[in-house]
Amino acid sequence: MTELPTLPFDNPSILGIAPQMRALQQEGPITRVRAAGEDAWLVTRYAEVKALLSDRRLGLSDPKPERASKNTARLTMMALMAGDDYGTEATDHPQMRELLVPRFSTRRMRLMKTRIERHVDELLDELAASSPPVDLHRALSFPLPTMVVCDLLGVPLDDRERIGLWARGTFDQADSLHSVSTFQQVVDYMTELVARKRTEPGDDILSELIAEKDGSLSDEYIAQLGCAVLLFGYETTIVRIDMGVLLMLRNPDQRALLAEKPELAPAAVEEIMRLAVGGKGSNALIPRYAHSDITVGGTAIRTGDAVLLAIGAANIDSRAYPDSDVLDLARVKPRSHMAFGHGTRHCIGRVLARIELTAVFERLFRRLPDLRLAVPEESLRWQEHRITGGFDEIPVSF
């Protein structure tokens, strides 16, 4: 019996798709692999990944939860998306989206644009006034999304540091006790904040949820929704800022073009999102389970099978993108990438993330035209133990 390829695949680079992932993509759209102690179907091509992201026959919850033990961090992630229970996902997940999607309307997010740009300007002023080398991660990438999510939830800015540490601990796959304890701190904090908002409402998401459905939502449920906004709306944007900076530094011609024409920042953001795969690629895999039989590329996926949608590989599929490995701010009518998902579970916070990233990349290289890494790129450490991956430090000079 042939041994299955085992995820995660080794990658000699801190950015980009692992060579074995590329090889499997060339062989076909779907292949059997071993991942996290169970067999799964790995889907790597653009067309098939896009179709499956919209396919309601794939779900978040495992129809056979007894067959394999999941790590605590991933179980927490599924619970926050109301996708941890096969029996209730069909009602709980849509209800969660029904309550949160209006809170992230395009109109509301655009109203936040001026405040976000002000945050970026202030952070860049502080960074520029510092003596290099400076940790870009701590000076810009970490604080900006934290400020924004605090604004959204009505969290005091003084609490942003500990909230950030809790978020990182919650998604730590290597230490279950740490994951459980830090997540409980998030829950306790959010529950206390909801109780305070009932008597002192503000212009924030928690106050709006308290008033939703004639005030019938429980504090516990509102706190759960608040935890989801906090934990999902924060860490992934931090990671994309760090990775975007590294990608632009790897591409000096495109970086110079962006500095000259900041109106290209939205295009830069889309290319960064498309190419932002780190380490062994765990931040570019979406886990799902088949809730009905599905056929993909002539292969039968049976009810209960685990499926991994390789959005990172799909985003560099040459069938969808000419010169797919190239960061190109002048792509002509590029196809939509999968970094925010697609279809019924399209990322709720995608408009907000784009506004934050655009504000950064409109300004960063104009404000600091000589920005460069202060250490060799290969010395940077991708955090494989976190679901979201990412870096803890990006030393730069300017």
State the chain's mean pLDDT as an integer: 95
Residue 286 pLDDT greater than 60, yes or no: yes
Q: In terms of DSSP bridges, do strands 30-35 and 58-59 run parallel, antiparallel, or are they unpaired?
A: unpaired
Span 250-259, mean pLDDT?
98
Q: What is the pLDDT of residue 166?
A: 84
Q: Between 71 and 154, where is the model more confident?
A: 154
Residue owning tokens 């797919």: 324
Measured distance CA(156)–CA(200) in Å, rounded:
13
Residue 331 pLDDT greater than 80, yes or no: yes
Span 34-61, mean pLDDT?
96
Cis peptide before 376 (omega within 30 of 0): no
Identify each DSSP E strand in 1-128 by its residue range.
30-35, 38-43, 58-59
Residue 1 pLDDT greater than 70, yes or no: no
Supply 265's token pair.
């920042």
Measured distance CA(258)–CA(274) in Å, rounded:
17
Q: Is residue 191 exposed (0-12), middle (13-18) or buried (19+ Cβ within 10 Å)?
A: middle
Residue range 111-139, pLDDT digits in tens: 999 999 999 999 999 999 999 999 999 99
310 Cα distance to chain centroid? 14
Residue 69 pLDDT greater than 70, yes or no: no
Q: Which domains does the chain have, with CATH numbers?
A: 19-397 (1.10.630.10)
Maximum Cα–Cα distance across the chain: 64
Identify each DSSP E strand in the chain by its residue range.
30-35, 38-43, 58-59, 134-135, 285-290, 294-296, 299-301, 306-310, 372-373, 395-397
Q: What is the pLDDT of residue 364?
A: 98
Residue 334 pLDDT greater than 80, yes or no: yes
Q: Between 334 and 1, where is the model more confident?
A: 334
Q: What is the pLDDT of residue 68?
A: 58
Cis peptide before 145 (omega within 30 of 0): no
Q: What is the DSSP letter of 386?
A: B
Span 363-378, mean pLDDT?
98
Measured distance CA(248)–CA(240) in Å, rounded:
12
Q: In terms of DSSP bridges, do strands 299-301 and 285-290 run parallel, antiparallel, or are they unpaired?
A: unpaired
Span 208-212, mean pLDDT?
97
The percent of residues above 90 in pLDDT, for the chain, comes to 86
3-class DSSP state of 300 = strand
Q: What is the pLDDT of residue 305?
A: 97
